[in-house]
Amino acid sequence: MNTQVTIAGVTLKNPVMTASGTFGSGMEYSRFVDLNRLGAVVTKGVANVPWPGNPTPRVAEVYGGMLNAIGLQNPGVDVMLERDIPFLKQFDTNIIVNVCGKTVEEYVEVVEKLGDESAVAMLEINVSCPNVKEGAIAFGQKADALYHITAELKKHARQPLMMKLSPNVTDIVEMAKAAEAAGADALSLINTLTGMKIDIYKRKFVLANKTGGMSGPAIKPVALRMVYQTARAVKIPVVGMGGIGSAEDAVEFLLAGATAVSIGAMNFVNPYVTEEVVKGIEDYMAQCGVEDINELIGAVE
């Protein structure tokens, strides 16, 4: 049985990755799962300098999911290179670093610093965080802005670039095509859906940021639809995510056209979920007589 997939020249032993921001740099969940079993670990977004993030409350539960407005708190790329990458290097998995910034120059600085680290297999560019006022999302909601930043980063990147798309747009396909045209090597989607929760007794927003990004099982059908639309419209590989919590969920995304999948909020619900999904996909393949996982990609009829 073959579970290997390839994204932009990077071979993953299986299509299961972690979703940025839910898995730190792998250290915390390495106490629950064997990182060697995962196709890739995608880190929390990292900027050129440390970011303090938003005030609390930063998280809230909603029906079938959660909202977060962390605001991309991160220790900066230097700490990532000195502490987190050496930690992840101990494991036989791909390291994908998620990159964030407020200006094109800030993104470029991070991309260049990571370019010297050969252990980093790929860069995921966060142009879709809904919780940071400047930058980030501004690049991800207009096709021409997305084209521009993708093309600019492509000039500086030594690793393949995976652009992470926001679902908070009118036409996901237009965004996907803009990133592809600018030279993106892969796409990942969806980032969180912008949402809100109000405490009716206090008459206040539950999140200090008022709005937050929604994730969890409740968004899965939306994510699946967008992955399907996108995968049909572009030639570059698509990594699907949004509420995945089981092997069945993961296979749905593969059938919709995703080459790999990321697991995010469900790590909080089940800290063993990533490894369980890897095992569950193998069981599904055995049960359904699937010899090569690549047969599943986009195979929905």
Q: Which residues are known catalytic residues?
A: 129
As a whole number of angstroms, the distance between CA 112 and CA 106 comes to: 10
Contact flag: residue 216 with another protein (CB under 8 A):
yes
Shortest distance in whole angstroms from residue 280 CB to another protein: 17
Query: Does 64 sit near another protein (CB under 8 A)?
Result: yes
Closest approach, Cβ 47 to another protein, in A, equals 11
Residues 227, 232: Cα–Cα separation, whole Å:
9
| Helix spans in the chain (H) | 77-79, 85-89, 104-115, 137-140, 143-156, 172-181, 220-233, 247-256, 266-269, 273-288
Binding mask 13-32 for another protein (x = CB under 8 A): --------xxxx---xx-xx
CB of 94 to another protein, least distance (A): 19
Question: Applying CB under 8 A, which of residues 17, 38, 60, 110 lies at the interface with another protein?
Answer: 60
State yes or no: residue 97 binds another protein (CB under 8 A).
no
C-beta separation of 151 from 182 below 8 A: yes
Region near another protein per CB under 8 A, out of 69-77, 149-157, 224-232, 287-295: 69-77
Binding map of another protein across residues 174-203, x = CB under 8 A, - = no contact: ------------------------------
Verify binding: residue 65, another protein, rule CB under 8 A: yes
Enter the tokens of residue 255: 């059938």
Q: Which residues of 68-103 are buried (b: 16+ CB within 10 A; e: fewer)?
A: bbbbbebbebeebbeebbeebeebebbbbbbbbbbe
Q: What are phi and psi of 167, to 5 degrees?
A: -85, -5
Cα separation of 223 and 239, whole Å? 11
- Identify which of residues 19 and 236 has a Cβ nearer to another protein in the complex: 19
CA 274 to CA 292: how far, in whole Å? Answer: 20
Q: Shortest approach of another protein to residue 80 CB, angstroms?
A: 10
Q: Smallest distance, Å, CB 135 to another protein?
A: 18
Please name which of 181, 184, 168 lies closest in space to residue 226, comparing C-alpha atoms: 168
Question: What's the rounded Cα separation, in Å, for the pair 130 and 239?
Answer: 19
Based on the shown chain and the rule CB under 8 A, indicate whether residue 205 belongs to the binding site for another protein: no
59 contributes a contact to another protein by CB under 8 A: yes
Q: Is residue 279 close enough to count as binding another protein by CB under 8 A?
A: no
Please list every residue from 218 through 277 that binds another protein, using CB under 8 A.
Answer: 265-272
| Interface with another protein (CB under 8 A) | 21-24, 28-29, 31-32, 44, 50-53, 56-61, 63-66, 68, 70, 73, 75-76, 79, 206, 216-217, 265-272
